[in-house]
Amino acid sequence: MEERQKQIFDLVQQLGKVSVDQLAKTFYVSPMTIRRDLAELELIGMIKRYRGGAVSKIEDGELPITQRALLGEAEKRELGKKAECFLSNGLSVFLDSSSTCSYIIPFLKKYTEIQLITNSVKSLLYAAEYHIPALLLGGNYSEQDMCLTGAMTNQAAEEINVDIAFFSTQSFSDDGVISDSSQAQIEVRKYVMKNAKRSVFLFESSKLHKKSLHTLCSEADVFAVLLPDSAEGQNKSEIQKNTA
């Protein structure tokens, strides 16, 4: 992907919908060049074209996880680093299927006797690169999300008791509602949260101030919410702990 195409992609994600004319003026190139860029981005599954422009694929959950992982990389690394304050030797740790939580994996290597549990094949493979032992919950495999969900996954999730579970959903609203467009992944998270000693959520700036179709829980139901320093508001730059 060329640098201009990456910038176009970032702009589409930020605005949700853009026109060819708008992009041509922004990048000082011809409409024909923009149409060619959009065609290439659509070909690799990054955006959807419509007559005269393009729209984001993120809101309806269509973007594959391998491409979602490229979004907001700096903030995801920052959140992975912030999550390290909850880690210590001998912990059992659950990571959900989000690309955001996979950024915690490099920090797990620093600790001994860590038991990693996940329903994410992507996180399983990433953990193997660091020689971190991991348990993969069984179930129905989604190629797009590289994860397992369904009745078998839910049963396995309900039977595990982890010290800490890390999650990241698509949306975190101003009134503290945590939600996602995937009911199947919501269910897995609910079962894990039921027996986890601590549940910690990570959200990039792009996930704030919005709600998705299915509600998982509220901010009051979790131990902590981690947000990037760039998030708006004083309370959005620090770890938010539920002390109730």
Q: What's the CATH code of the domain at 20?
A: 1.10.10.10
**Is residue 24 located within the same domain as residue 93?**
no
Structural domains in the chain (count): 2
- What per-residue confidence (pLDDT) applies to 107? 97
3-state DSSP assignment of residue 210? coil
One-character DSSP codes across 84-117: GGG--TT-EEEE-S-TTGGGGHHHHTTSSS-EEE
Q: 213 and 109 in one domain?
A: yes
Q: Domain check: are 52 and 168 in the same one?
A: no
**pLDDT < 70 positions in the chain:** 1, 58-71, 232-244
Rounded Cα gap, residues 14 and 148, in angstroms: 29
With b meaning 16 or more CB within 10 Å and e meaning fewer, what string describes 10-41?
A: ebbbeeeebebeebbeebeeeeeebbebbeeb
pLDDT value at residue 233: 56
SS (H, E, C) 55-73: EECCCCCCCCHHHHCCCCH
What pLDDT score does 15 carry?
80
What is the per-residue pLDDT for 68?
Answer: 64
8 A C-beta contact, residue 192 and residue 165:
yes
- Residue 176 sits in a domain of what CATH number? 3.40.50.1360
Is residue 167 within 8 A of residue 200, CB to CB? The reply is yes
The answer on 75 and 40 residing in a single domain is: no
Q: Provide the pLDDT for residue 175.
A: 95
Nearest to 145 by CA among 129, 173, 168: 168
150 and 112, same structural domain? yes
Whether 108 contacts 116, CB under 8 Å: yes
153 and 215 both lie in a single domain? yes
Residues of the domain holding 21: 3-57
- Residue 63 inside a domain? The answer is no
- What pLDDT is attached to residue 239? 42
What is the pTM for the complete model shown? 0.74
